[in-house]
A and B are shown apart, each in its own frame.
Chain A
Amino acid sequence: MMKWHVLVLAAMLMLTALGIAGYKWQVLGYPVKPDASIDTWLVEAKLSFEAIGGATRAALNVPVDPPGYTVLDENFISRGYGLSTESAGTSRRAVWTTRRTAGSQALYYRARVVRSTEPRPPEGLPALAKVPEYEEPFGAAVLAVLDDVRARSADIFSFATALVMELNATQPSPNVTLLIDGANTAEEKAALAVQMLASARIPARKVYGLPLVDGARDIQPRTWLQVNNGERWQTLDPLTGAIGLPDDVLLWWQGEAPLFEVTRSRNAVAQFSAIKSVEPALSTAASRSRAEQASLSKVSLLDLPVQTQNLYRVLLLIPLGALLIVMLRNIIGVQTFGTFMPVLIALSFRETQLVGGVVLFTLIVALGLTIRFYLERLKLLLVPRLAAVVITVILLMALVTIASHRMNLEIGLSVALFPMVILAMTIERMSIVWEELGAGDAIRQGIGSLIVAAACYLLMFHPQVEHLVFVFPELLLLVLGITLLVGRYTGYRLTELRRFRDLAK
């Protein structure tokens, strides 16, 4: 019964860990590699004009929740202007106002965006536009074209596609020629299509997007056509009928409103530029999940102050060391001084590096043991003797540091990071084993502890492991699950296969 309980609990913990980590990796884009990077775009809209004096009001459409992208952050840059943003339905405008101004003015809007594959929530059906009224012969031509298109389509999207194809046919029918009437640009074709679709009671709209080109200084917005089938908006290229928005296009605004409106000004012009920058995938993922308000980002360590983050970077690794100890002790059967002493030693190896750490550790323990054997002759009580060992260990550490500083050896300086109480306890335990079981056992166990500490160090401070645990701390639930499983492992330890080998003869 208990075995099942543990199995189920462990399985639940492990599945939870893998589930959360998998979601963060696949959906939120947290990188599993420590040095992964991701492209982010800095897109800037510059609205420049010459004010002719007096109160001026400048309005600029800005993106709101563009499909395929997440806005990580945005800035409005202007001097001497009051700023407000107005949201109306699915569009948003930045409105700058000032009481008096003159001369050439420049207002900026900057947004940092990143590609996002987050599925979009369903958008409802918009209010239907009024059926436009045409004069003859246009009305008849529209009906003829729509009838023709309807005959060749199955649903709303294929209807819209067929209509766009019809408007762009190389040899258009007389009806289409009449309606097009010289409309050649994407903007004009899209406007025509929106109108004609309104006649067929299909909601459609024009949307404007920026093709993002790295380093481009003057990106021209282009028009796309969007059609709603009652559940979502589908984007169509008004010139080719191609379905979907190209990946590199950032939708900026939509609808009939002009890109900008500036009162009391001359020569108003809006310019778009874009710069691609490569940022660590980790910080991008973190700010994206914040921007998208993923609830998981609320428990992210990445929001903590850097100092605290660094503390947890180390702290979160201890469970891995503990798991390794569990494996080594309960499955292999290795003996060490103090259960988790090697983990703590491994932590200090982080600063000294492995080889330096092993050398320093051996040096300090050897010197400490010598002193401990001398103290043994003085017949001191246990606690004062331990304290004496701690004091001499600290003095030894100071001496080692000074000596290595004299010799210009950087490594010796980090000896101070060894946990000296742990060292003193190790020395004490080792000297007792030395006396009771002999030098061989003591040295064997000492070397065993050192090897286990080195193994802990190699596991815990592997850059990949360090990264995974810090970015996906939920993986510790996996570690917990494995630990619980090992806790119910009642099979033989590896060393027992050797210990009991005579029985099997």
Chain B
Amino acid sequence: MYFAWPGKLKRLGVVGLNQRNGDYISQLNRRSDYPKVDNKLITKQLAVDAGIAVPELYGVVETNHDAQRLASLLAPYQDFVIKPAHGSGGEGIVVIDGRQGRLFRKASGQLVTLESLEHHVGNILSGMYSLGGQPDHAMIEYRVRFDPLFKDITYQGVPDIRTIVFKGYPVMAMVRLPTRSSDGKANLHQGAVGAGINIATGVTHHGVFNSMKIDHHPDTGHAIGGHAIPQWDVLLRLAAGCFELTGLGYLGVDVVLDADKGPLILELNARPGLAIQIANGTGLAPYLRKIERDGNPKASVEDRVSYVERTLADTPAD
């Protein structure tokens, strides 16, 4: 079957881009709150202030003049991540996981020179990866040493867990697994695998790769389902807490599992994508309706997480 009937998708509660934009984002997310998520420096600051765990910020490059001091800025660190403060869709992120002499080793194993990194930082500063092309800042931060949990179902890069938080309630989650074709990036539209997660229990089920349902990782061949994510309730509380942080009613929270530091908030997204529905094999709308009916805007993070664990456990199986 090449196309789905719109009626059938509607019955399944699948949310389309137009509905996401018109019924949720434009109603629940105030424009003035966008900088809190679009500018990752602000996000990080807010998170630190609120005591929410984030990867440590090593430094910020704000001008091309600063970029000349990149070498001294990087000197203390063997591994790090360079990313644009206003980046979107994972563009412009470079992960360096080690040094080899005067060269830097990218996550893909490719060796690059300092000049190449400086050029990349220059591109970031001139706004190549930012929305609307406005001048940007480059952030250098802690490289997450990801939990070995996903070792078998990841091809390089950092797998992260995307959670949709609706009015403060986590409603749907997936783990995004880099593949060879995603070049170590965890974005589905760049070719990463998305694996659905039972929102109440934190156990993965089947996955989606290039919009197709799969059960095994395309590069490693291991089964994607059945992995229980450790500290799931910590992760849920982190995600739910981002509602207070930003005030955004429809929010995507990206969390990484660090081997040492546990779940860390990597970034927030005011316009999270909809592929999460394919990864979970179900539409978002029934969950959103449930929260709209039962949700209490004054409930605490703890109350909201326990509501999710109590009532959203029957996520459809794969």
> Interface on A for B, CB 8 Å cutoff?
330, 333, 379, 381-383, 432, 436-437, 487-493, 496-505
**Helix, strand, loop or mixed for chain A's interface?**
helix
- Kindly state whether residue B230 has any CB partner on chain A within 8 Å: no
Question: Contacting chain A: which of B2-10, B104-112, B142-150, B153-161?
Answer: B2-10
A500–B211 Cα gap in the complex (Å)? Answer: 8
- Kindly state whether residue B282 has any CB partner on chain A within 8 Å: yes
Contact B18 A503 (CB under 8 A): no
- Kindly state whether residue B17 has any CB partner on chain A within 8 Å: yes
Within 8 Å CB of A383, what residues of B?
126
- Show 18 A/B contacts (Cβ-Cβ < 8 Å), sorted by A: A382-B123, A382-B126, A383-B126, A489-B22, A490-B21, A491-B18, A492-B10, A492-B14, A497-B3, A498-B3, A500-B9, A500-B277, A501-B2, A503-B9, A503-B14, A503-B281, A503-B282, A504-B8
Q: Closest chain A residue to B116 by CB distance?
A: A379
A498–B6 Cα gap in the complex (Å)? Answer: 10
Q: Closest chain B residue to A384 by CB distance?
A: B126
Contact with A along B111-152 (1 / 0, CB 8 A): 000011001001100111000010000000000000000000
Within 8 Å CB of A503, what residues of B?
4, 9, 12, 14, 277-278, 281-283
A121–B266 Cα gap in the complex (Å)? Answer: 76
A333–B17 Cα gap in the complex (Å)? Answer: 9
A504–B8 Cα gap in the complex (Å)? Answer: 6
A381–B119 Cα gap in the complex (Å)? Answer: 8
Within 8 Å CB of B1, what residues of A?
501, 504-505
- Kindly state whether residue B220 has any CB partner on chain A within 8 Å: no
A413–B127 Cα gap in the complex (Å)? Answer: 35
Within 8 Å CB of B116, what residues of A?
379
A505–B4 Cα gap in the complex (Å)? Answer: 8
A489–B6 Cα gap in the complex (Å)? Answer: 14
Contact A490 B18 (CB under 8 A): yes
Cβ-defined partner of A382 (8 Å) among B5, B17, B128: B128
> Interface on B for A, CB 8 Å cutoff?
1-6, 8-10, 12, 14, 16-19, 21-23, 64, 91, 115-116, 119, 122-123, 126-128, 133, 190, 208, 211-213, 277-278, 281-283
A382–B92 Cα gap in the complex (Å)? Answer: 13
Q: Which of B9, B18, B23, B190 lies at the interface centre, i.e. has the most chain A CB atoms within 10 A of its CB?
A: B18
Please give 15 more A-B residue pairs, beta carbons under 8 A apart, in addition to A487-B22, A488-B22, A503-B277: A381-B122, A382-B126, A490-B19, A491-B6, A491-B19, A492-B19, A496-B16, A496-B17, A497-B4, A499-B278, A500-B4, A502-B213, A502-B278, A503-B278, A504-B1
A289–B123 Cα gap in the complex (Å)? Answer: 60
Contact B6 A497 (CB under 8 A): yes
A502–B194 Cα gap in the complex (Å)? Answer: 14
Contact B126 A381 (CB under 8 A): yes
A383–B122 Cα gap in the complex (Å)? Answer: 11
